[in-house]
Amino acid sequence: ARAHKNMRSVIILISLSIISIGAALDNRWKLQWSDEFDGNSLDTSKWTARLMPGYTDNGEKEYYVPSAVSVSNGKLILTSNNTAYDSDHPYMSGWVDTQNSFFSTFGRYEINAKLPVSQGMWPAHWLLSQFKCWPYGAEIDIMEVIGRLNTTCFGTYHYGSTCGDNHGNGSSIKWNASLDHAYHTYSVEW
């Protein structure tokens, strides 16, 4: 989840359950990786909870801290709050990724999530290439929701031939109700 500079909520929870790659929805897919978030802590053989500042290019004012990541009742919970990390980062939030534990080029990637809706929130589920130079190697935004647009989900493909050479194609889907009222499955087949 990304928190934007206008975050007003004291505590927002992002609850995720069932993250799977190549889900066995039909005969085309064979399950390669999943996490059902069983137990009471993050499975660190699958996930890394990051300690790092938010991306200033996006106007992010939060600092990502592992203490904002928890697992409970089959859900991954990323908590964002307006507790200052330092004078440059008035918010803290949770971030997890599989950068050091799982990589796959093609498949079906999905997440079942109940998203926060609040000014300044920016929950996202995306795929990033193993190249360290964005957007070279590409980024696929499976789901991004801007908190103030709580009925719209965005998907974007970012690409470039060099570092910082960002091009993108994307679209959005609008729901009839706010995305925080129920769990929804977001996916991409690549």
- Could you list the active site residues? 139, 144
Helix (H, G, I), strand (E, B) or coil at 5: coil
138 contacts 157 by C-beta, under 8 angstroms: yes
Distance between CA atoms of residues 21 and 181, nearest Å: 25
> Would you call 145 helix, strand, or coil by DSSP?
coil
Please state, in angstroms and as integers, the Cα–Cα distance from residue 182 to each residue in 18, 29, 173, 177, following that order.
15, 26, 16, 9
Distances in Å between the Cα of 91 and the Cα atoms of 27, 83, 114, 178, 179 are 45, 5, 21, 24, 23
